[in-house]
Structure formats: C-alpha cells, structure tokens
Amino acid sequence: MKRRLTRGLGTLAGLLAIAVVVFVTAVRHKPFTVPEADRGPASLRAPADGGLSLRYLGVSGYEVSDGTTVVLLDPTPTRPAPLTLLTGTLAPDEALGTKECPRADVILVNHTHYDHALDVPAIAKRTGALVVGSQSTVNLARSRGIPEEKTRVVKAGDRLTVGGFTIEVRRSRHTKIAGMSEPMSGLVPIDAGKLWFWQYSLDETLFYRLEANGTSIWFHPTSTWAEGELSGASAGTLIVGVTGEPQTVEKARGLLTAAKPRLVLPTHYDNFFQPWEKGLALMPGLDLPAARAAFEAVDAGISWAVLDQGERIALPPDGT
C-alpha cells in the first residue's frame, strides 16, 4: 500500500511538472508589432483639440484624462512571471506603478482578478484616488490600507461624478476559463493578507460608461456580451475585450447596435504572463484579425485601432 501511494504521488508530481512546463512554454514571450493597418486613423495621434486623452497601460488598463481629472481603468503594469504565479503570493511593482500611473483621481475596476486589480491599492494609496468597483475590489483596497472614504462599492445602474467625468455602471459576466463560468469566484476578505493569484476573487464583473468634454467611452473589457447590457446609452468609443470567448458577428452586432461607436479599441490582447519591460506580445492563441473581421462584417465603416504599450491617443468629442 505504501509503495502504491508513493508511486501515485510520484506520478502526480510528474504530471504537475509536465503541466507547468506546458504552461510556461505556451505563454512565452513572442514580440508583436502592431501592423500599420491596425493602428487606426491618423487623427488619433494628432494634437488633441478638446475631447479626451487615452493611454494604454497593458492588459485591459487605461489612463483617461480630460486635462484636469485622471481616470484609471484596470491599471495593471505589474505582470508576475509564470513561475511566480505558481510558486508564491503576488505583490505589485510599486516603482513601475509610479512610473506608468503617476496620477489618478479615480480608479474603476472591472473585477478583482489579479490581472485587473493587483496594482490598484498601491496606486490608490500613493495618489489618493477613489477606488470604485465591486465589494471584492473594495475589500482588497481596504485590506491594503485604503480608507473607507476613498472606496465605493457600486452595482449596475449606479452613476457617479468625479471632476468633469460622469460615470455609469453596468454589469457583465466573466469569460469562461476551461469551461468554468465565473472562475476563481468568491470574496476577498477585508483583512486579507498576502494572496496567491487564485485568491484575487471575483464576485462581480462590472463595466463603465465614461463621459467628459463631450466625449464618451464604453469600457467593456470582457469578451462576453448579453442582450441589453449596453442598451440606452451610446458612446463614441467602445473598448472591448477580445481574449477568452471569441468575438463573433452576433456579439459584434449586439455591441455595435447598442453602443453605436465610431471607434472600436480591442483590449486584453496583451500577454499579461510576461513582464511589461519585454514589450507588447499577444495572448496565446489570440486571433486579432478574426476579431476585427467580426466587427467589420457588421459595420465596414467602423474604425479599429490596436494600441501599443504606453501609447497615447486623442479621442475627439462625439460627433466631430
């Protein structure tokens, strides 16, 4: 019996070792240069004349500013290496966070998985930003020393104003992982200590409509879609996730019909298993051309732009 148990444990250890090797190999860094055809209209890189400034922070992270107020969306400059994920708890790279996210008035979080929320408490503590998201997101911030008055739990239908921005909250769902709906779900405790990657627990998946300077954005970083999610409010720009569930013509039609954007910015294509300093790489297996084709099949006149890490663009006021 003892020999059989030892043999079984040895087999399990061997299988785990193989799984780790396969995972590390699958997510290795493969440099990606954005094709010129995917960079979008030249006007995005022209000097801003009103509207909003938007900068890509990798994964699904953005800095949005009207020139006065700075909104951060899922700021995630820290990307733990694969072996770090598998061998220990996670910590933000605060020096990198300071460099890439020097200012913030409010931080909006889609959900509390580490690739969306790991850096949020450290950035909020340094900048004094208000942290907005689900209960799990707020608990994570509170557990890292962010005072209660600098947090706000929101739910679908809520509206808030920060500086010149009006913000509307909606609810979506996380993409399935390995067939599991709402993967790594749960609630981060308000007294959480150091956390492994799976302990950054998902309770709700939220998305946001932002408007300032006559310019509107739907921030919808999941690749899912459900009837009615965006109904009742259009936006000049749609930021939409492309990793996870494939973007289909049906989804694209639903998103475009409801949001009525002129510009689509795909997001969450950046390989977050690789450090920021290595540069842009795509998530394994991602087919960006297929995602673009799905949206253009619905509206051939839509503008599509893929941003490089750290790239800043100018979003003009709606209707211009």
Cα-based angle 181, 269, 143 (whole degrees, multiple of 5): 60
Angstrom distance (rounded) from CA 89 to CA 109: 21
DSSP percent split of the chain into helix, strand, coil, nearest 5: 30, 25, 45
Per-residue pLDDT of 72-119, as tens digits, reads 999 999 999 998 998 999 999 999 999 999 999 999 999 999 999 999
Q: Which two tokens stand for residue 52?
A: 């909003």
Going by pLDDT thresholds of 50, 70 and 90, the confidence category of residue 177 is: confident
Supply the pTM of this predicted model: 0.93
Section 38-66 average pLDDT: 93
The reported pLDDT for the residue numbered 274 is 92
> Which secondary-structure segment (H or E) carries 108?
strand 106-108
Per-residue pLDDT of 274-305, as tens digits, reads 999 999 999 998 999 999 999 999 999 999 99
Q: Are 216 and 209 in contact (CB under 8 A)?
A: yes
Q: Could you give the domains of the chain?
A: 43-315 (3.60.15.10)
Q: Can you spell out the DSSP letters for 163-215?
A: TTEEEEEEEE-PPPBTTBSSTTBS---TT--S--GGGS-BS-EEEEEEEETTE
The reported pLDDT for the residue numbered 23 is 64
Angstrom distance (rounded) from CA 122 to CA 139: 14
Which residue, among 270, 266, 207, 214, has the nearest Cα to 240 in the 3D structure?
Answer: 266
β-bridge partners, 266: 240
